Amino acid sequence: MTATTSPAILSEDKAQSLLDYTVKMSSAEGVFVSIYTGEEFLSRFSENQIGQNISKTVFKLSITSYFGNKSASVSVTEFDEGAIASAVARSEELAKIAPPDPEWMPLLPPQTYDRRSPAFDEATATLSPLARAQMVQQACEIASKAGAEASGSLSAEASLYAIASSTGLSACNRSTEANFSLSARTGDGSSWTESTAWSICQLPIAQLAQQVVDRASASRQPRAIPPGVYPVILDGAAFADLLSWVIWGMDGRAADEGRSFMSIADGSGKPAGNRAGEQIFSPIVQVQRDPAHPLLRSNTFFGDGSSNNYLEIIKDGAPQTLSYSRYWAAQKGKEATGMFYPFVMAGSSESLADLIARTDRAILISRAWYVNYVNPKTSEVTGMTRDGTFWIEDGKIAYPIKNLRFNQILPDMLRDVDAVTEVKRYGSSVVPGVRVKAFNFTSITDSL
């Protein structure tokens, strides 16, 4: 191999050549090598003006050496052959003196992955600072004309992730992603939204900015309503934040050890299995791991080389499986699933406005803020509404209301879902907005 200077993003051939070279240098019993390289772009703005416009080139080569059930990892951020050789030697030195790992698993053999390529958009990969600034300016001008102050960020990245090991495992993905986040404030009214896509051209900057500014204006002079249990409509952005806590809670080991809402206990309170296959949510709830979804088109493998393929997570309200690591799957005689992301929940053809129009009374939640566990075992969380909370009456948004703190058992929330909207992408998830028959609010907050 000939050392070279680092480009913004490696080609797949160059990445594979570098990985092969590093694997051959190893004298360990086993070695796993990964490369992450790419460019990250970020523009931040506040008070209707851009404040930061940066680009960053990233390169990281990580080496994990194995001697039996001992291992150690070392990373290097240079292409230099000497630096790579030193990193390989250092990882081997550390692995020999590392404590044994009681949950060690052997390196994966070569795997079969979906025959598809993750989305890679050239316009996103080559987005200029001027183009980003013009997009931000468009949003800020919309806010300024309405007498609102806008803040947020516009980011994009183009990346390559590749892996190889001494067992012959080899894989490489290239991908792009863009994200737009916007908050608007006018007087005592505020609103927020976020949108993610694999192409910068898929972000409707002007449309999102206008929606946020309009909702901020509509949220001024909120009224107080007493805390209690109310039906709610969760906008997709708010629901995505809450649903992720449920998906994280569907871990096989936590369930089998009695630490999850998916656990089953015997008469003495000891763990006695899990609730996979039991209908515990509304039959409307359908969730899959679907990296090939048109809004995602994400990577074909996980960081350890296991396949990121389609998987039914919840069907007709019943969890179909739990998330099993390779170690816990081996202990329980199950098939390892890998992580439950990116997850997709099925929606409908209805818009949020359609759902509001056929709702007699409910609270519209635009954002779930500062969500944290109250009880991990039951998946009860606490958090606050923020950036536009409204009272719905007779199929219309009647008036804004003051923000409320909630304490909610999230499996009960999914049990009480009775309608869904069309889906949108938020981060690495695709979810609809939802209507929930009962949601528990405990107090009024002073946050906007």
Residues 6+ apart with CB under 8 A from 134: none
User: Residue 2's pLDDT is what?
Assistant: 38
What is the mean predicted confidence (pLDDT) over 227-248? 97
Contact of 163 with 12, CB cutoff 8 Å: no
Give the residue among 184, 47, 197 at the shortest CA–CA distance from 121: 197
- Which superfamily, per CATH, for 12-215? PmbA/TldD superfamily (3.30.2290.10)
Helix (H, G, I), strand (E, B) or coil at 202: helix
The predicted model gives 420-430 an average pLDDT of: 97
Confidence of residue 8 (pLDDT cuts 50, 70, 90): low
The domain ranges of the chain are: 12-215, 229-250+277-320+340-444
The upper half-sphere exposure of residue 354, i.e. CA atoms within 13 Å in the direction of its Cβ, equals 11
AA letter at 103: E
From the list 152, 149, 224, 219, the residue with the least C-alpha distance to 189 is 219
Using DSSP, state whether 197 is helix, strand or coil.
strand
The answer to whether the beta carbons of residues 368 and 344 sit under 8 Å apart is no
pLDDT of 3 reads 38
What is the percentage of the chain residues whose pLDDT exceeds 90? 95
| CA–CA dist 146, 134 (Å, integer) | 19
Q: Residue 425 pLDDT > 80, yes or no?
A: yes
**C-alpha angle 57-62-65 in degrees, rounded to nearest 5:** 175
Q: Is the pLDDT of residue 5 over 60?
A: no
Task: Tell me the whole-structure pTM to 2 decimals.
Answer: 0.94
- Whether 6 shows a pLDDT value over 60: the answer reads no
pLDDT tens across 337-385, in order?
999 999 999 999 999 999 999 999 999 999 999 999 999 999 999 999 9
Closest CA to 192 of 422, 391, 442, 385: 385
Here the tokens at position 386 are 């923020």
What would the mean pLDDT of 402-418 be, rounded to a whole number?
Answer: 98
Q: Which two tokens stand for residue 176?
A: 């792009």
User: pLDDT tens-digit profile of 258-311?
Assistant: 999 999 999 888 999 899 999 999 999 999 999 999 999 999 999 999 999 999
Three-state DSSP class for 334?
A: coil
pLDDT of 157 above 90: yes
Q: Is the dihedral of CA 421, 425, 431, 437 positive or negative?
A: negative
Alpha-carbon distances of 352 from 238, 358, 398, 422, 423, rounded to whole Å: 13, 10, 15, 8, 10
Burial class of 117 by CB neighbour count within 10 A (0 to 12, 13 to 18, 19+): exposed
Terminal Cα distance for the chain, rounded: 58
CA dist 46 and 148 (Å) reads 11
Please report the pLDDT score of residue 446 as a whole number.
82
In one-letter notation, the amino acid at residue 59 is F
Rounded average pLDDT over 92-102: 98
Model pLDDT, residue 392? 98
Using pLDDT thresholds of 50, 70 and 90, give the confidence band for residue 447: confident
**Amino acid type, 122:** E
